[in-house]
Amino acid sequence: MTRGDATPDPIARFRRWLRAAQRSGAPLHDAMALATATSDGVPSLRFVLLKQADARGFVFFTDARSRKGRELRGNAHAAATFHWNTMGRQVRIEGRVVELGDADADAYWVTRPRGSQLSGATSHQSDELARRALLTTRRNELARRYAGQAIPRPAEWRGFRIVPDAIEFWTHRDDRLHHRELFRRTPRGWRATLLEP
């Protein structure tokens, strides 16, 4: 175990590390690199923002029509990494993915700033775009249509949860002798092991 952090619950430890990253002023402390793959194993990677982390897993939202949304629906496994360089820490997560229901998506949608709602409702994420002006025009038209009204959540704007099977905590050490601790989910709970750097 990491000295001073002998938490047997990796989710609780992750939440502490995330709060520490936020307090430290780490930029985009909630950004995670999300890896997905097609049903035949072709990978892709991008950053998304973590919106919730609890005993059930790690939640993010996206347009399900996007490349990542299509891949998650076709291959419900993903990996994610958080990297806080100024703190010398990173966390890797691997697990299966479940799609959240309408109620979860609606509850988060109303917390988004209006500009983000407009952009989310305007974009057909990952589709080819002939000219950027077309996107701007669609957004302006949507803003006029819903002036003074709530912007409805697009049906395909969804939440996903990574239910972790493995969580690794990595801490920088000098001379590349980094400290790595891997938690694996077992039928009896989490099992922690150390890994060579």
Residues tagged active-site: 176
Long-range contacts from 105-108, C-beta under 8 angstroms, 24+ separation: 105/61, 105/153, 105/157, 105/158, 105/159, 106/153, 108/51, 108/61, 108/159
Return d(Cα 66, Cα 71) in angstroms, integer: 8
Q: What is the DSSP letter of 8?
A: S
DSSP string, 63-128: ETTSHHHHHHHHS-EEEEEEEEGGGTEEEEEEEEEEE--HHHHHHHHTTS-HHHHHHHHH--TTS-
Helices 132-145 and 114-122 pack at an angle, to 10 degrees, of 120
- Structure tokens, 60: 């993010």
